[in-house]
Amino acid sequence: MDLSRFSMEGRTVVITGGSGGIGRGCVRAFAQAGANVVVASVPEESIPPAVAEAESLGASAIGVKVNVADPDEIDAMVARTLDAFGRIDALVNVAGGSYSRNPDMPQYGRAPLLEMSGDDFLGAYVGNVKTAFLASKAVVPHMKAIGKGAIVNVGSTSGLDRHPNAPDIAAYGTAKAAVHSLTFHMAHQWKPEIRVNCIAPGTIDTPRPAGTVRPEMAQAAERIAVGRVGVGDDIGSAALFLCSDAASFVNGVVLPVHGGE
């Protein structure tokens, strides 16, 4: 096998949500593969450590403060990327989550469906679906211009109907299912130059604000076949594969990364 097919040398990747747990895993993976890395995230103070980590791994990297639910801010992110590196080869849409814990992003609350407001229900879509749609739409013309590109959306096993005993994430699960479907349509509308795939993470241990309680983590490893919960690097590795030439015949798929949960 030609292992150079996994290299991202000379290519530029934009990672939305790049300063968070899964995002940092993606930053590390792409930096080690030789890519120019754009850490697109909020809040602003979370970005420099991620950029510094990418640079410590030998990558050229910049940080951009951006709310990826805002088209104007996304356009500014794209312009900054092109100014720094001249091209966009890959986009990893990490931004989103099962509840809004970032005050700089759209807010919504978790609750069972009968207790959930319409605004909170739609908020899950703004934070997870609209963001992936807008960021992808903004980079596609630039990928088309160079004749090649790859996009990876981050969905969730919650969108694969794998969490029936977690009723408070129903809105999140349906939003992530929409991300899975959106991936298929992107792949077919933007072919043949651009491949679009999706990762559906399972239980991933990522940093949370002080005081955050995650009761599901205590028993998670017991139900996962590999005997542990996932970490950001597990998703980063999958994202790197899907964006690399090694995955040149992988398109329009949702890849579960859950350790056999």
Known catalytic residues are: 172
What tokens appear for 83 in the block?
A: 């100014």
What tokens appear for 260 in the block?
A: 């056999």
Half-sphere CA count of 109, side-chain side, radius 13 A: 8
How many Cβ atoms sit within 10 Å of the Cβ of residue 192? 8
Angle ∠(157,258,136) on CA atoms, nearest 5 = 55
Mode of pairing for the β-strands spanning 149-154 and 90-93: parallel
Return the closest-CA partner of residue 96 out of 137, 40, 27, 35.
40
| Angle, helix 131-146 to helix 170-189, in steps of 10 degrees | 20
What tokens appear for 202 in the block?
A: 């399972």
SS3 51: helix
How is residue 225 annotated by DSSP?
T
Angle ∠(113,125,15) on CA atoms, nearest 5 = 135
E strands, the chain, in order: 12-16, 36-41, 61-65, 90-93, 149-154, 194-201, 254-257
Torsions phi, psi for 29 (to 5 deg)? -60, -50
Q: How many residues does the chain have?
A: 261
